[in-house]
Amino acid sequence: MGKARAPRSDTWGHLRVFANTQDGVFAVDQGGRIVLWNKAATRILGFDADEALGRRCCDVMRGLDVSGNLLCYPGCQVMVLSAREQPIHHFDMRTRRKDGQEVWVNISTVIIPADGDQPGGTVHLFRDITQERHVPGWIKRGAEAPAEGARIGGAETVPSPGGGGKGPAESLTAREREILRLIAGGLTSSAIADKLCISHTTVRNHIQHILAKLGAHSRLEAVTVAFGQHLL
């Protein structure tokens, strides 16, 4: 295993918006090394940032699929698809905390293309779904019908956007872009409403439109997608 190298904080400063989110977030450079590890990632997996930064993602996550097959290794399928800039659908993964306790996480991955002085990489959002995984199988089966597409550990990948119609950059209105920037800046819905002198209901409606247009399920995921599409 190569020696861990601490990333330069200024190089990845544009990802600091994810530092204090409730979801676990880690970012990986194009060489597969971790360059961002937030507080929620520490809470879920037990590794401090100093123990994760600079290490290979596969050495920290050590993920397995539902059948026990290895998901995390140098040049894994996520890395391959990321290098091709092919979006990756969320997937479930079994791993272990620092203390050895088994935990299931659901991971969403967004590709961050290189842009000028900002290097490319991937941002991974994850949450603990261990309790959900313990729900009896007969309850879950109806919600786990497979979809078409290439699969990663039991989850499908989605086709690249832009095949037809407007992409996110073209479909977001000026107001939606403004609200998205405020969300990325850490403002709550109430704070956004006060700043823009609009009602809370109007803010909620704009956020719902933003989520729908970006194919996101949360404000955090919307911000991540926006970074990947250079909307911020």
Q: What is the pLDDT of residues 169-194, one digit of tens each?
A: 568 899 998 998 888 777 788 989 99
CATH number at residue 97: 3.30.450.20
CB 38 within 8 A of CB 24: yes
Question: Rounded mean pLDDT of 150-163?
Answer: 41
pLDDT higher at 185 or 147 = 185
**pLDDT attached to residue 12:** 66
pLDDT of residue 43 exceeding 60: yes
- My answer on whether 141 and 211 are in the same domain is no
Q: Is 34 left (phi over 0), alpha (psi -120 to 50) or beta?
A: beta
- My answer on whether 130 and 196 are in the same domain is no
Question: Rounded mean pLDDT of 102-115?
Answer: 87
Place of tokens 């967004």: 110
- My answer on whether 128 and 207 are in the same domain is no
Give the residue from 102, 125, 156 where a domain finishes. 156
CB 57 within 8 A of CB 82: no
CA nearest neighbour of 124 among 97, 96, 158, 88: 88
Q: What is the pLDDT of residues 191-211, one digit of tens each?
A: 899 999 999 999 999 999 998
Q: Cα(161)–Cα(87) distance, rounded to whole angstroms? A: 8
CB 45 within 8 A of CB 93: no
Q: Cα(178)–Cα(180) distance, rounded to whole angstroms? A: 5
**pLDDT attached to residue 164:** 41
Question: Rounded mean pLDDT of 153-181?
Answer: 62
- My answer on whether 66 and 114 are in the same domain is yes
- My answer on whether 45 and 139 are in the same domain is yes
Residue 5 lies in a domain: no
Q: Cα(88)–Cα(144) distance, rounded to whole angstroms? A: 17
- My answer on whether 221 and 145 are in the same domain is no
State what percent of residues in the chain have pLDDT above 70. 76
Range of the domain at 131: 13-156
Question: Rounded mean pLDDT of 4-14?
Answer: 53
Name residues whose C-beta falls within 8 Å of residue 98's C-beta, 6 or more positions apart in sequence. 45, 46, 47, 51
Which strands sit side by side in the sheet containing 102-112, from one edge to the other? 34-37, 24-29, 121-128, 102-112, 88-96
- My answer on whether 24 and 107 are in the same domain is yes
Buried b (16+ CB within 10 A) or exposed e, 67-106: eeeebbeeebebbebbeeeebbbbbbbbbeeeeeeebbbb
**pLDDT attached to residue 76:** 92
Residue 173 lies in a domain: yes
- Has this prediction a pTM greater than 0.75? no
Q: What is the pLDDT of residues 53-107, one digit of tens each?
A: 999 999 999 999 888 999 999 999 999 988 888 878 888 999 999 999 999 999 9
pLDDT higher at 84 or 46 = 46
pLDDT of residue 141 exceeding 70: no
